[in-house]
Amino acid sequence: MSEEQQSFYERVGGEETFTKLVHRFYEGVADDPLLRPMYPEEDLGPAEERLRLFLIQYWGGPRTYGEQRGHPRLRMRHAPFRVDQAAHDAWLRHMRAAVDSLDLPEDLEQELWKYLTFAAFSMINA
């Protein structure tokens, strides 16, 4: 299969890449005084799994997220949480470190980062 026929998910390395990305992101969230309180459960594992499955599905991988949780409805799911500019910035700071840890080719890194910055902006609700 040529690169043009592959999904973004396949081009970046599939599940392994998204597992690494999301795990690294939640390592940052675990110690963040602004973001950590938004996760009431003691174990961040379930949140990590949800984000990993969502990103995998969004980027062309298996549709497990939708099968388990239905339509993403991201703004609705985040509505109970105060997502202001500071939360946005903290989220992107941890996600930037996670993206950098992947050492992706520049074109793929830019495509991923463009989506993540758009998604973070669209979640601001305060």
- pLDDT one-digit tens code per residue, 30-82: 999 999 999 988 899 999 999 999 999 999 999 999 999 888 787 777 678 88
Mean pLDDT of 9-31: 98
In a domain, 77, yes or no: yes
* Total domains present in the chain: 1
Read off the pLDDT band of 1 (50, 70, 90). Answer: low
Predicted structure pTM score? 0.92
In a domain, 2, yes or no: no
Which ranges constitute the DSSP H helices of 1-126? 8-11, 15-30, 45-58, 64-69, 74-78, 85-102, 106-122
CATH of the domain at 25: 1.10.490.10
Per-residue pLDDT at 3: 66
In a domain, 111, yes or no: yes
User: Domain containing 71: what range?
Assistant: 9-122
Per-residue pLDDT at 51: 97
Q: Using an 8 Å Cβ cutoff, are 111 and 8 in contact?
A: yes
In a domain, 3, yes or no: no
In a domain, 1, yes or no: no
In a domain, 4, yes or no: no
The amino acid at 80: P
Question: How far is the C-alpha of 77 from the C-alpha of 99, rounded, in Å?
Answer: 24
